[in-house]
Structure 1
């Protein structure tokens, strides 16, 4: 996706391969964007990136970060 197609929800979106060994951030695999948002809400983390790997059965990788301390 280009920046012109990005929704205004501040979640980075990309496509491509995902290497779980190289990824240092918190992540989870999911079936859809809605599931990523639910995981974030249920775990108290912020969804910062979605990677569409197009691999079945869980094509979406959700990248999270903790909310900053107040």
Structure 2
């Protein structure tokens, strides 16, 4: 692990936060945790081996199906 990895993770966390999300590090390498603590960036992440998986993203209702050619022809009669 090096500081470049910490920098990239912090950039990802910043981008996620701008979108209203957070980055979770599940069971991270101890060397990475040491670097995050050393740099003061550990509190930016949700860290832990027993993190619950995030709630699934809400699904959007499928769009209404486009009318078929048969349906369009019936309306012309």
TM bucket, shorter chain: under 0.3
Give the structure with the larger helix fraction. Answer: 2
Give the structure with the larger strand fraction. Answer: 1
Structure number with the bigger relative contact order (C-alpha 8 A, sep ≥ 6) is: 1
